[in-house]
Structures are given as C-alpha cells and as structure tokens.
A and B are shown apart, each in its own frame.
Chain A
C-alpha cells in the first residue's frame, strides 16, 4: 500500500510517500493512521491532531471509517486551501 502525505503532514512525517504493509486488522483509515503514528516521532507529531487531518483512498475523499483493506493508495493531508481571495 502506497501512502502519500501533503503540506505540513508531509513536512512532519519527513517523507512525501512510503510503501507500507499494515496487518489485516488495520481495516479503516482511522486505524491506518493509528498504525502509522507508531512508525516514528515525526509520524506521531503529524497525526497528533486527528481533527485537522483529511484522507483520500485511491483518489476519493473519505472519512475516518472508510475501509482501506483493498486500497492501493491512501493520501493523508490537512484541510485544503486552494483558490484565492
């Protein structure tokens, strides 16, 4: 499973993407974030405020209860700030 990070989540984790193989019991986005948070101090810092995180599974925006069992790409990022003025 490929994990992508954007904006300050990427900066705190320290990498833009990583390949991981979570165990089968990591079934949802929320559980995946819990599991990833244990990988390093940077991950823990990036994921300490769950309310400020958003996620996409295979390119679709999802909530924390969304399944990740068959996902090939999961992105974790802050709320978006596009456009202008």
Chain B
C-alpha cells in the first residue's frame, strides 16, 4: 500500500502510524519526521518557512519513489506526508513511514525515501527572517547523499 499526501494540514504521525500498522504482513515500521528547524544563532529566528510544490507532479514523483522503495525492499506499505504552504519553527514538514517483514528493510527504505525525496520531488522552500524572504538553495551534500543510493 502506498499513501502519499501533500497539503497545508498539520501532520499527525499517530494517525499515519495507525494506518500503516493496519496493513497485514509487517513486522517492523520505520519512521522519519522532518521539522522546521529552530535556529536562534543564525541572523534571527526563521519566523515563517513556506513550501511551494508542483501540484499533481509532486504527488506522482513521491508515489514513484514509494513504488521504487517497495520494489527494492519488499515493503508491505510506504507513506509520505509532506506539508506545503506557510509553517513555523518546530512544526513538522515531512513524515516518512515504511513497513516491512523485518527491521533492516524498513529502516533502509525509510532512509532511502527521505534522501531521494529531497532531490526527486519538486518542492521549493522560502525562509523569512527579520522580515526578509529568501529562497533556500539546494545543498551539494543532499545531492551526494541521494546519488549514493544508486
């Protein structure tokens, strides 16, 4: 089962966990939660982070990644929930859940999904600090991590 959600709503990990645990066949569920970082020492706190996406295409890219992970690690289920729109420090940006018969597959597939989605799915971040908005530049480190999965 592949479940992909992209929207402005707050992410509810407990509800998503309940859904994926209900899929038969799993002995392990791995999870990753990404947060809007609270970064007090860096030119003032990020008052607002905004995420923009390409409606339809972003969802299809995430579904394709979940399918690739499901095929590679024989997952019973994969979930990606990604927020878009304005959000505040400490809030959840992204939730990845992977379920498999055994823990190694679930953990590896979860790490794969979060590394790949950073470069394969069309999202763009804009930070506002002290009233000044800037678009976040991609990091070479992220591209290298994603490429490492082959």
Contact = CB atoms under 8 A, between A and B. Distances in A.
Interface of A: 4, 6-8, 56, 59, 75, 77-85
Interface residues of B, number: 30
Nearest to A82: B123
15 contacts: A6-B124, A56-B54, A77-B124, A80-B122, A80-B123, A81-B124, A81-B135, A81-B136, A82-B118, A82-B123, A83-B93, A83-B94, A84-B35, A84-B37, A84-B94
Contacts of A78: 124, 135
Given A81-B118, A81-B138, A84-B93, 13 more contacts: A6-B52, A6-B122, A7-B124, A7-B126, A7-B135, A77-B54, A77-B122, A80-B122, A81-B135, A82-B121, A83-B34, A83-B142, A84-B35
A84 B81 CA distance: 12
A80 B138 contact: yes
Overall SS of chain A's interface: loop
B126 to A, nearest CB: 7
A4 B118 CA distance: 21
Given A6-B124, A77-B124, A82 B51 contact: yes
Interface in B10-61: 34-37, 51-54, 56-57, 60
Interface string B43-87: 000000001111011001000000000000000000000100000
A75 B57 contact: yes
